[in-house]
């Protein structure tokens, strides 16, 4: 079964001193040992880039250089599989934000769910389980529970 990783997993991997880094590494190892495919989306990589390059004094920023971020983004692209955006993703996203009356930052969560639906991915791995509870068509997993 395929799993989509939310950006917060990749951010924990990028942050060498994160107490949750080992949790994500263990989740990746367990999924790989079970021959599971781990996906990311263009949005996940954009969110990753945003937080990595944001100054570390700004809300959650890691303060990494472009070069450091580029190396880390290349590792994501090398070791995980991209779920490309498509017209089906867009159409599903528009339906979700309308049906679930989604506003503000939550539109980004709906975009991930739309990608999952368009690509028939059941499992989302995230530290933000509560943000996705409204979507009964997916299964949300915390990396520590894998």
pLDDT tens-digit map of 22-81: 999 999 999 999 999 999 999 999 999 999 999 987 778 999 999 999 999 999 999 999
pLDDT tens-digit map of 105-140: 899 999 999 999 999 999 999 999 999 999 999 999
Q: What is the mean pLDDT of the chain?
A: 96
CATH code where residue 121 lies: 3.40.50.1010
pTM for this predicted structure? 0.94
Distance CA 29, CA 8 (A): 17
- Number of domains present in the structure of the chain: 1
In what helix (H) or strand (E) does residue 140 lie, and over which residues does it extend? strand 139-141
Distance CA 74, CA 124 (A): 22
Q: What angle do CA 41, 42, 46 make, to 5 degrees?
A: 120
Distance CA 36, CA 50 (A): 28
Question: Which residue segment(s) compose the domain that 15 sits in?
Answer: 3-145
Which position has the higher pLDDT, 1 or 107?
Answer: 107
């Amino acid at each position: 079964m395929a799993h989509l990783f939310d950006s917060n997993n990749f951010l924990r991997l990028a942050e060498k001193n994160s107490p949750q880094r080992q949790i994500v590494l263990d989740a990746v190892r367990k999924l790989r040992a079970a021959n599971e495919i781990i996906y990311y989306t263009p949005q996940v990589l954009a969110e990753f880039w945003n937080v990595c390059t944001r100054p570390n004094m700004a809300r959650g920023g890691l303060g990494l250089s472009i070069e450091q971020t580029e190396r880390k983004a290349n590792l994501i692209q090398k070791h995980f599989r991209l779920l490309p955006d498509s017209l089906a993703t867009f159409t599903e996203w528009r339906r979700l934000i309308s049906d679930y009356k989604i506003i503000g930052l939550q539109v980004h969560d709906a975009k991930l769910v739309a990608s999952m639906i368009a690509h028939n991915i059941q499992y989302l791995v995230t530290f933000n389980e509560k943000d996705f509870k409204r979507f009964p068509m997916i299964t949300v997993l915390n990396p520590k529970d894998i």
